[in-house]
Structure 1
């Protein structure tokens, strides 16, 4: 299956499958390439007949990321260029349930904890900070400082409660423990230039991936991060998004400013597939946790694709 949805004068920034429904996903998008204008949050259902919008939420600033709640199938959190994060309810189209605004600059990324902290969200911003939120409250719980540049991404560990990673324009990958807000528990000088994305391996709690403007994806064992354990080279331009497969421990996907999505075998340190169906930067990327080998991506060409890749159940060098 290969389905396409046009975001209609909105440039795609992020796409996320629902953790509850195999046919549902959300897309955060912006007018004018996110430089100016408004944003739209699309909630979409996929069927053999195509992709149809269930709900479209409009916001007065660009939307850069979205995440589904882990404790309510109708709740999403998005973040925007006005420094806010918004809590949306699919069943209530009139507007956000809550707007939380403490960041002083654009918010690039949001992530919802997948461990036992059911209400906890982190946000990463151009103001060089990461904030921890309980969305049932009206103020942030903690602010994490230390990066010297824009924080492009922050993501919770799917294995260890209270642990999350962040990457920044300062070239570092950092690990933070929410119980230790004054300093990070690990600092890794991961890339020479800006780092735009990271993700945790779903099968090894010690492995985290990073991708930067150098076009390289690296994996790190956080117990001994002096050297990367793997380097994946093949993108011509910056790596914008990394997603570790929820089904195969050795498979990682990435999207890039070179208009492509690539599938990588980490064990063989090689690219096993290149997907070329965009004509602009590919920003959003996600695996469907319910459907093996199904992915979605979105880009600045106003297109969102849902598609199935070949199965990659065995490492390529075995």
Structure 2
């Protein structure tokens, strides 16, 4: 395990670079995001640990980060002042552009992955979702329908112009950008939903993580009940991610200080492992897109950690997993 300490900065989100296997970005906030400034950290993994490539300050807390899918130097963050910031790791003078249309905290940003598409989606405490072009000149669309804070927005890795959002109103919504409409609304939990993610291998599978301590895996073709409900966390689930290397494996992190790994195809014992290596809320989580089973997370305990969990170290064929990469 490799650890990076960021004194007086509490981690909210991490994302590995889609271009550079050793690079990771972290969005962090001062004073637990309640007040103070934010910091964007860009780190490089070395043989001996993690080194700082760039540290940039913002006037308010930063709550999410996403790398460009077309430029290895560019990323976007979402801030507590309602703005999105576009950064270039090679430009140290400040953000390339700032867009402020949301009226409350931006809690989620995501860069589209489908071929021929280059868009950003943001979700906010103002209950709206906005879609942007990569210059952040102005939003291309504002989509409303949620009746609570929008905590999570994630593009489909399969279907252009399609993304999912999760909200404090307990619903998961699937949106069609071309139509400018919500195509599907699922009452996924009877509590706030803080995170959602799309399976990298199946366009019909989406997972949600909730304040009710459960992860629900949904087949969008039949949403009367989840494919599986994963229980084990003892506090709210802050973020979840599907593995890019194993179709039925996903990870979740929680306010219970743990990171858990699951195989949702295993109906009886889906929990693969529980890691307790943080001393505060674990808020950020991602899988490497380049190195099988490598994971990065960040916590309010002022640390970011990169590791390979033992439960995923076994050969994939032993578990019947597909070993394709994205």
Q: TM-score, with normalisation over the residues of structure 2? A: 0.95
CA displacement 1:262-312 (0-9 Å, x = unmatched) = 000111141111111100000000000100010000000001000112325
| Cα separation, 1, equivalents of 2:69 and 2:94 | 21
Give the C-alpha shift of residue 317 in structure 1.
Answer: 8.9
Find 1:253's aligned residue among 251, 255, 264.
251
2:59 — aligned with what?
60
Q: Any conservation in 2 of the 1:280–1:301 contact (CA below 8 Å)? A: yes
2:324 — aligned with what?
none
Describe the SS at the equivalent of 2:182.
coil
| Cα separation, 2, equivalents of 1:25 and 1:292 | 15
1:282 — aligned with what?
282
| Cα separation, 2, equivalents of 1:209 and 1:250 | 11
| Cα separation, 1, equivalents of 2:226 and 2:136 | 39
Q: Any conservation in 1 of the 2:244–2:287 contact (CA below 8 Å)? A: yes
Change in Cα spacing, 1:137 to 1:26, as seen in structure 2 (3 Å) is closer
Q: Any conservation in 2 of the 1:174–1:185 contact (CA below 8 Å)? A: yes
Give the C-alpha shift of residue 252 in structure 1.
Answer: 0.5
1:42 — aligned with what?
41
Q: Is 1:170 aligned to 2:169, yes or no?
A: yes
Change in Cα spacing, 1:140 to 1:315, as seen in structure 2 (3 Å) is farther
Q: Is 1:303 aligned to 2:308, yes or no?
A: no
Give the C-alpha shift of residue 118 in structure 1.
Answer: 3.9
Q: Any conservation in 1 of the 2:27–2:38 contact (CA below 8 Å)? A: yes
| Cα separation, 1, equivalents of 2:318 and 2:303 | 31
Find 1:206's aligned residue among 201, 204, 207.
204
CA displacement 1:182-203 (0-9 Å, x = unmatched) = x300010000000000000111
Change in Cα spacing, 1:317 to 1:232, as seen in structure 2 (3 Å) is farther
CA displacement 1:97-138 (0-9 Å, x = unmatched) = 000110000000000000134430000000000000002251
Change in Cα spacing, 1:171 to 1:137, as seen in structure 2 (3 Å) is closer
Kindly report the root-mean-square deviation, in angstroms, between the aligned alpha carbons of the 2 structures.
Answer: 1.3
1:243 — aligned with what?
241
Runs of 4 or more consecutive aligned structure 1 residues displaced over 3 Å after TM superposition: 314-318
2:293 — aligned with what?
293
Give the C-alpha shift of residue 315 in structure 1.
Answer: 7.4
| Cα separation, 2, equivalents of 1:173 and 1:315 | 33
Q: List alignment gaps of at least 5 residues for structure 1.
A: none
Q: Any conservation in 1 of the 2:86–2:136 contact (CA below 8 Å)? A: no
Describe the SS at the equivalent of 1:33.
helix
| Cα separation, 2, equivalents of 1:155 and 1:137 | 18
| Cα separation, 2, equivalents of 1:179 and 1:147 | 19
Q: List alignment gaps of at least 5 residues for structure 2.
A: 322-326
Give the C-alpha shift of residue 246 in structure 1.
Answer: 0.1
2:92 — aligned with what?
93
1:161 — aligned with what?
160
* Equivalent residue runs for 1:119-198 within 5 Å: 119-181=118-180, 183-198=181-196
| Cα separation, 2, equivalents of 1:250 and 1:154 | 21
Q: Any conservation in 2 of the 1:173–1:187 contact (CA below 8 Å)? A: yes
| Cα separation, 2, equivalents of 1:282 and 1:314 | 30
